[in-house]
Amino acid sequence: MRSSHKVTCTAISLFLLLSPASVFAEGGTQVDLTTGGSATANSVSPVDGYTDYKPEYAFDDVVSGTYNIWKSNREKTSWLQYEFPSPKRVSAYTLMWPIMVSQWTTAHMPNTWRFEAWDEESGVWVVLDTQNAVTGWVAGSKRTYQITNTRFFRVYRIYITASNYATYDRYNPYNAIGEMEMLGDPLDSPLQLDIDTTRATIYGGQLFETYVVSRNATSLAVEEATVAYDSNLYEFVSVTPQPGFQITSQDTSTPGQLRFSLTSPGAAFNTTGETKLLKLTFRAKEQAGAGRIETTAGSGTFTSGTQIVASLGSETITVNVKTADVNLDGSVTTADLAMAAYAHGGAPLAGYARADVNKDGTVDFADLNLISQALEPTPFLNGGTGYTLDLTQSGDVSASSSHPKTQYYLPYYAFDGDVTSNYYWNAGAYVNKGWLMYDFKIPQRIGKYSLMWQTLVGFESYMPKSWTFEGYDEAQGKWMVLDTQKDKTTWLTGVRQFFDFPNSNAYKQYRINISAANHSTYVGVGEMEMYGKLDSHPELGIESVADTVTAGTAFESYIVVTNGNAMHAEDAKVSYDSSLFEFVSAVPVATGTEIVRQDTATPGQLRLTLANTGSQNAVNAGQLVKLTFQAKPGATGTGNIEVQSGTAATATGAEIAPLTSGASITVQ
């Protein structure tokens, strides 16, 4: 799908219709195109004392002579193939048995066959025509077979499954062809109207972009295309003409169908083999599956008025949806559990529809349990004390511009978390300023961000030099400057730099607005993260009722929270000295707190996943869970019970790595 041919288009007009495929009229002059290529076959019958019945003899335009034919070596099925130097659109083919004085009769000609083209992209033969039980061949008489073919292919073949000779001599089932032509319009250009996308896999709910791309044509005045997409998986959001093009009309009123008319003003507009005409933005639906976005028909018209038929292209895009992924960030973490806990107790709240995991109309313990069983290790970067983990997981990304010549410089790559690839946001050639924006689904109070240039050593100067970091105040309808940086030149590949600032407001949209780059021509961002601001950093610890206990007796300790920041879920891993203590039970004590997952299988380790259910039961401080232990009989000594590690999250899906602590208890 990625070619690099230059295309020159004059006053290009593009018409797009997202609807079922339509058939274009063939038109044009049909001449034999089989010159300059090469012929091959699956086998060749030898001739004693003569040259073989070579495949190229079927394309040599010699219509008489005993041995100027191609003949197979007694296979019941065989094929004859022709490869063009460059892709051609064949619209008809001919077959003929030559005039000869020989024992070989017209019965060698095919009886049943397929005419096929090789699709290099998908690696399959595309059947263009099928003929069955064809008889009555006459020497010197040519038969022509018209086909409907809108695509350009490099390789075509006739695949013979039966010849007429099999009925004459079943022990010598030769297949043979005297002459074959493949017809098309010599003025036909391998124009391709293709679809390019930036991501082969996305998560339900996420925005993604595709492009309508024109390739391999010269001096076109008009282009027309039909594009189809899977409306069960994708929802159309917007269309943006690329630089140099204008949309003159559009119709988006019918779900699953779009109509656009696109022109390029001026006497001439030069394009390249990767020229993007339109950007189509879609949102993945919350439905798992693999679907296609494809051009299903297309044509172009030269300035002379001659019409050509375009070859087509497609992209397959897979939508992944994890059942318990409430915030649709691709991972099931404590953030998902916290959002479901906040919505617990009734029908899903606005913005929390996926909290009803089992889709029974109510967010209840069953939903919390399903999420807890699916929990994954949190993969997100930690903002440090006083801040959440990186929150740029499930929102939408946009920018003032992006480089039009490649799909690997799009805004999304600045937030993809991949620090090993060469993909990043680039604002475009000769564009060394612009903005990069992140749109959260739920307003967040950001207090820190980080920037990094990832792996392209020697291109660090693309990073910003001077900028402001801003939040959008919807009430006032303007961007609020939260941080200002000037003359930042010390960028190193693979080194992340952090910038913090005071902020008391939660905004849905944030952006870095770059006024100058370190490079005179380009500006870009390798990776960017944003971290929520905490008034104080939460701590999960252990509070013991007694410092000293008697061997053989039970005692109580508590998991406690300090500086909770309105937490709605906690996942705590507790360690204890199993030589001194034996775990007995865990009972929630905070109002609304539920233990939705408990793992006690390993002595000395305890994992408790907690949900603080209901919008009124966020935890800020106090005892969460009572832990009962038994001091082992005959044991003596001092051991620890402590929260070893954990995560917590708020109702907005802001995830936190809390501080942890424990308690020492002596057994005597």
- Interval 629-658: pLDDT, tens: 999 999 999 999 999 999 999 999 999 999
Q: In 3-state terms, what secondary structure has residue 336?
A: helix
As given in the structure block, the two tokens for residue 449 are 């961000």
**11 has a pLDDT exceeding 70:** no
Which of 39-43, 164-168, 415-419 shows the highest mean pLDDT?
Answer: 39-43
Query: What are φ and ψ of residue 541, in 5° steps?
Result: -140, 180
175 Cβ neighbours under 8 A, 6+ residues apart: 71, 72, 75, 77, 78, 108, 110, 160, 163, 165
Task: Identify the burial level of 135 via C-beta atoms within 10 angstroms of its C-beta, where 0-12 means exposed, 13-18 middle and 19 or more buried.
Answer: exposed
Q: What is the SS3 string spanning 513-545?
A: EEEEECCCCECEECEEEEEEECCCCCEEEEEEC
Give the residue-averaged pLDDT of 319-334: 90
- For tokens 């204008």, name the residue: 246
Look up the CATH number of domain 539-667: 2.60.40.680
Return the pLDDT at 497.
Answer: 97
Distance CA 568, CA 570 (A): 7
- Whether 167 shows a pLDDT value over 70: the answer reads no
Tell whether domain 7-24+190-320 is in CATH 2.70.70.10: no
Contacts of 273 (CB under 8 A, 6+ apart): 3, 4, 5, 6, 7, 215, 216
What confidence tens digit (pLDDT) does each residue in 90-132 have?
A: 999 999 998 874 556 788 899 999 999 998 867 889 999 999 9
Q: Do residues 611 and 364 make contact, with C-beta atoms less than 8 angstroms apart?
A: no
- Per-range mean pLDDT, top range of 168-172, 250-254, 447-451, 459-463: 447-451
**Whole-angstrom Cα distance, residue 229 to residue 154?**
27
Q: Is the model more confident about 170 or about 121?
A: 121
Q: Which residue do the tokens 């009572």 mark? A: 626
Would 387-533 and 539-667 be classified into the same CATH topology? no
In the chain, pLDDT over 90 holds for what percent of residues?
A: 60
Q: pLDDT confidence of 426, banded at 50, 70, 90?
A: very high
Grade residue 23 by pLDDT with cuts at 50, 70 and 90. very low
pLDDT in tens, 571-613: 999 999 999 999 999 999 999 999 999 999 999 999 999 999 9
Is the pLDDT confidence value at 471 over 60? yes
Residue 50 has a pLDDT of: 52
Of residues 278 and 300, more confidence is placed in 278
Euclidean distance between CA atoms 644 and 664, whole angstroms: 14
Please check whether residue 380 is in contact with residue 415, taking contact to mean a CB–CB distance below 8 angstroms.
no
Instruction: Quote the pLDDT of residue 9.
Output: 34
Exposure of 328 in the CB half-sphere (CA atoms within 13 A): 25
DSSP state letters, 379-445: -SPB--TTEEEE-TTSSEEEES---TT-GGG-GGGGGS--SSSS--EE--TTB--EEEEEEEEEEE-
Query: CA 431, CA 617: separation in Å to the nearest integer?
Result: 50
Determine the pLDDT at residue 235: 95
Beta bridge partners of 145: 93
Distance CA 408, CA 247 (A): 25
Question: Within 10 A of 71 (CB to CB), how many other CB atoms are there?
Answer: 28
* Residue 265 confidence (pLDDT) above 70: no
Question: 67 pLDDT exceeds 90?
Answer: no
348 or 57, higher pLDDT: 57
**The pLDDT value given to residue 17:** 40
Tokens of 230: 């899977």
Q: How confident is the model at residue 20 (pLDDT cuts 50, 70, 90)?
A: very low
Residue 343 sits at φ, ψ, to 5 deg, of: -85, 0
Q: Is the pLDDT of residue 22 over 50?
A: no
The bridge status of strand 192-197 relative to strand 153-163 is unpaired
Q: What are the pLDDT digits (tens) for 343-396?
A: 999 888 888 889 999 999 999 999 999 999 999 988 889 999 999 999 998 889
Q: How far apart are CA 298 and CA 316, in angstroms?
A: 19
Closest by Cα among 392, 451, 355, 416 to 654: 392
The lowest-confidence range among 9-13, 209-213, 623-627 is 9-13
Core vs surface per residue 287-326: b (16+ CB within 10 A) or e? eeeebebbbbbbbbebeeebbbbbbbbbbebebbbbebbb
Contact 180, 80 (CB under 8 A): yes
**Beta-ladder partners of 283:** 207, 235
Paired strand residues for 155 = 83
Q: Which two tokens stand for residue 435?
A: 């903005």
How many Cβ atoms from other residues are within 10 Å of residue 385's Cβ?
10
Query: Which CATH number describes the domain made up of 31-184?
Result: 2.60.120.260
* Element spanning 342, H or E: helix 334-343
Per-residue model confidence as pLDDT tens digits over 68-78: 889 888 778 89
pLDDT at 570 over 90: yes
Q: Count Cβ atoms below 10 Å from residue 139 Cβ, excluding itself.
A: 16
- What is the pLDDT confidence band of residue 189, given thresholds at 50, 70 and 90? low
Fold for domain 387-533? Jelly Rolls (2.60.120)
Helix count and strand count (H, E) for the chain: 2, 49
Residues 197, 280: Cα–Cα separation, whole Å: 9
Domain ranges within the chain, ordered by starting residue? 7-24+190-320, 31-184, 387-533, 539-667
CB 491 within 8 A of CB 467: no
Rg for the chain, CA atoms, rounded:
35
The whole-chain average pLDDT of the chain stands at 87
In the sheet that holds 507-517, the strands lie side by side as: 396-399, 434-444, 507-517, 464-473, 478-485
